[in-house]
Amino acid sequence: MLEITNLVAGYGGVPVLRDVSVTLGKGEIVGLLGANNAGKTTLINSLSGLVVPMSGKIMFEGNDVTRLTPKQRVELGIVQVPEGRLVFPEMTIRENLLLGGVNARARPHRPSQMDKVLELFPRLKERLSQDAGTLSGGEQQMLAIGRGLMAEAKVLMLDEPSLGLSPLFVQYIFGIIDRLHQDGLTILLVEQNLNLTLRHAQRCYVLERGQVAVEGDADSVRDDPRTRSAYLGL
Ligand SMILES: Nc1ncnc2c1ncn2[C@@H]1O[C@H](COP(=O)(O)OP(=O)(O)O)[C@@H](O)[C@H]1O
Ligand SMILES: [Mg+2]
């Protein structure tokens, strides 16, 4: 469904990602692992178009999207749930969700999509007219995922959804990720949390200093000694 080939990308002409190739099959949860600063967010931002690649190619459902704008990519269904949630704190939960669905493809279905999101997250339903800034971290993560679903994502890219959440909320959010997977959504799950990701993803890539150090199914990545060393920077 999504195929990244030999991607080189970075900032101010300095590459962070070097020769990264990653694929996502339809309906898969693919884990993207790596220590802090490995380049995980840079990869997600390259997929959403916020970082412009220096070279390499990104194909989505048979179309070359490498040079498309972020807006065009959202229209195609490539949707990011950013690191740190980035909800709009002074807007209500309802407004945040509606904003998620402004793209031309999603806009006509906003009422029915909103019902689905609120069924998934009853806690948000109880707080619809509350400002998003009043939510706890876990609730903001629900809202950020809900906003991504409102865009009618075909591939949902989650950037460190467990970051800063209590163990209970982490469990809940990963339950939601499993449920979205069961419903057929394709998911790119970016995490530092190794064991958690290996439990939920079918395949994983481990990034180390901007390069893919290990890739394979969850079991082989778990057992590969390079996985631990990529984390410890040895
Ligand atoms: N906007 C930016 N400008 C310059 N360098 C950046 C920027 N964002 C990230 N970097 C650098 O790129 C590298 C990878 O960062 P990032 O993709 O955020 O890693 P991760 O998400 O794995 O923690 C880091 O060395 C970071 O300092
Ligand atoms: Mg990051």
The residues spanned by each domain of the chain are: 1-77+154-161+186-234, 84-153
Is ligand 1 within 6 A of the CB of residue 51? Answer: no
What's the gap in Å between 37 CA and the centre of ligand 1? 6
**pLDDT tens profile 168-194:** 999 999 999 999 999 999 999 999 888
Q: Are 8 and 56 in contact (CB under 8 A)?
A: yes
What's the gap in Å between 41 CA and the centre of ligand 1? 7
Which ligand 1 atom sits closest to the C-alpha of 45?
17
Q: Are 92 and 131 in contact (CB under 8 A)?
A: yes
Is ligand 1 within 6 A of the CB of residue 13? Answer: no
Note the pTM of the prediction, 2 decimals: 0.94
Stretch 77-102: mean pLDDT:
92
**pLDDT tens profile 26-74:** 999 999 999 999 999 999 999 999 999 999 999 999 999 999 999 999 9
Report, at the CATH architecture level, how domain 1-77+154-161+186-234 is classified.
3-Layer(aba) Sandwich (3.40)
What's the gap in Å between 152 CA and the centre of ligand 2? 24
Sign of CA dihedral 216, 220, 221, 224: negative
What's the gap in Å between 46 CA and the centre of ligand 1? 12
**pLDDT tens profile 144-166:** 999 999 999 999 999 999 998 99
